Structure 1
């Protein structure tokens, strides 16, 4: 029996779903959505708040401020409510309505930016708004998930050891790339493990986290409109980019089998299945980090009209049967070299 007094004290650590019967490849999803925040972002949020409290940056009079596309905002809203902090989440129009309502229900203030910076996209506009808040009120404390070292350390201390404990013979790990906190924490941990583990980053098509041409991204969560400052590519073996249509196909196929996962999880699953299909991998121990659940995507990914308007009717029609299309999942080997300095022009 578990008895807790604060919501952040609970997180399911050992639940995995084997999707072999759904996709034809043995892939174990580490389900990170079973906590009161509903996503893996609870780990980073708790670590960043605790770190700011330890160094004295965050005090009782502080106003927590953060830019988020959704899940981190919910996690920080929950922690702020339990600790008595005022929290302002700066998000944009891609943030799901359910997510915004959850943050407000927890007592947070939500600012939705409507413009886009020419170079920085929605993220640039959000960061400008955060800077303006901090410049006009010295009570504001910006945790900056994009540069905060506590982000990746949270997963170095929790997520990666949890996987290692459950799978001592792990061969390949698939991790979605957003701020790259989860990716870097896991990659750094397994770099010094007792056996080689192939680290495959899964990114959204249109993201420029690993370079490339920016493109439209309508599903919040993974992907970045700039190079993540936390990213060190020397720890990553390959990158797989996934089209949003394939994210939707994966989510809907899982849902037809009773598993309602979120957009980030659908992207990771699609990328992982594409990689496994391309490598003909049958005997590998493969684990993918599933960051979120699907309730917050009922009005987007699981809403037929939304999907048809943005991606076409065939996505809805083929959803129960379509396997992630490996042609749109592009494995890109990474060179194990010293990391390139991060582009932090958008950040403090």
Structure 2
């Protein structure tokens, strides 16, 4: 095992779960949660902070500020604590309580937006608040994960090459679309070095990222109410949209076999399974999906039955919950 001196120096990049026995389809799930921040967002956070330091825009007098639904906020909280920066995370009322507490435990200030913008939703309101803070005080430094090219560069440099090394015969890669940093980094790398690989984006119904109509979304992570500036759809071969009840059912289906994953993972796996049923009837393709995080931060939401019934109704767990073991 490595010896490290800063938490951002450690990340397991070669762990995959073979889901064939669980789903009845060959699908390898790349697990990105095994680091001290607990999610794939550590890569982007470390890359964006390092670039800001190199440019001189971030120094000891700076106060980092960022809009996040949770995981990037945790990653930046951890890095800020390690490096001695102050950090303000601007989130909204959908952020999990465990996530807010974790950021505060790391010394960060969490500002929660409770009212959505009439046009841009909660994300628009969060960005407006961040912009106002930066305009009011020059000490604030906004990394802007939605437009910062170092977000996607982190995955161009690390995530995509790691997948290709492990699966040189890869046919399809499924990536969830949030800020689209992971998606764009992987898509750009594979377009350049392995163009035969198809990139399928998985998004939540209600997200406007790929032009769909906005509607209520309660599970943080994937989807946006403001189209990400770094998205270039020319790099994406297909898009699958997943309803949140299907996300919940997939999370519980995985948990019933011992894999407690987060909501984004449930969305990606659900979308990937549906895409494979439509496009790979002969079970011939080698496929990988990226899992952003684990499920502990979702115990009060995705894995809490009263919350699920209040949000989605009594039948949300009717399918797949007690699927018998083969």
TM-score band, normalised by the shorter chain?
A: over 0.9
Mapped partners of 2:181, 2:111: distance in 1: 24
Per-residue CA deviation, residues 274-333 of structure 1 (Å, 9 max, x unaligned), is 1011121501110001011000000000000011111122222334257xxxxxxxxxxx
- Cα offset, 1:94, TM superposition: 0.3
Equivalence for 1:316: 317
SS at match of 2:290: strand
Equivalence for 1:11: 11
Mapped partners of 1:195, 1:188: distance in 2: 9
Equivalence for 2:112: 112
Mapped partners of 1:56, 1:226: distance in 2: 29
Mapped partners of 1:204, 1:96: distance in 2: 18
Whether contact under 8 Å (2:256, 2:322) holds in the other structure is: no
Mapped partners of 1:116, 1:243: distance in 2: 21
Equivalence for 2:267: 267
Name the TM-score, length of structure 2 as normaliser: 0.97
Equivalence for 1:81: 81
Name the TM-score, length of structure 1 as normaliser: 0.91
- Report how many aligned residue pairs link the two structures: 323
Query: Which ranges of structure 1 fall in alignment gaps of 5 or more residues?
Result: 323-348
**4+ residue stretches of structure 1 with deviation over 4 A?**
none
Equivalence for 1:239: 239
- Cα offset, 1:193, TM superposition: 2.0
Query: Which ranges of structure 2 fall in alignment gaps of 5 or more residues?
Result: none
> Greater shift after overlay, 7-16 or 193-202?
193-202
Equivalence for 1:124: 124
Equivalence for 2:150: 150
- Cα root mean square deviation, aligned: 1.2
1:1-348 matched pairs, under 5 angstroms = 1-194=1-194, 196-279=196-279, 280-321=281-322
Mapped partners of 1:229, 1:136: distance in 2: 24
Mapped partners of 1:222, 1:317: distance in 2: 24
Using a 3 Å threshold, how does the CA distance of structure 1 residues 112 and 222 change in structure 2: closer, same or farther?
Answer: same
Mapped partners of 1:97, 1:132: distance in 2: 25
Whether contact under 8 Å (2:124, 2:226) holds in the other structure is: no
Equivalence for 1:325: none
